[in-house]
Amino acid sequence: MIEKYEQTLQDWIEAIVADGDDDALFASGYLQGHFAVVLSQLEAETEQDITALEAKMTECLALARQELNESDFALVNDAWSQLSAKLAA
């Protein structure tokens, strides 16, 4: 399951690098770091399904809300919505 998440992330990042603007590049890069942390946490757990991933990403996004200004957080949150939809597909 982790490998599927990693591949989906990689494909999504490649598409953004190819076609995204500066805001998309920022948001995807920021999200990629948090996503990597979440995946490393999931590797140590028995539950690795999409629900567990989304729960951990929700926690990360709560921290991001504190770290980022409002407009940057909105970019990251929108990026997560896009990636999450690809992961669930």
Tens digits of residue pLDDT in 34-69: 999 999 999 998 889 999 999 999 999 999 999 999
Q: Can you give the length of the chain in residues? A: 89
pLDDT, one tens digit per residue, over 9-19 is: 999 999 999 99
Domain count within the chain: 1
Rounded CA separation 11/33 (Å):
15
State residue 84's pLDDT score: 94
Residue 34 CB partners (closer than 8 Å, separation 6+)? 57, 60, 61, 64
pTM of the model: 0.89
Domain extent, residue 33, equals 2-88
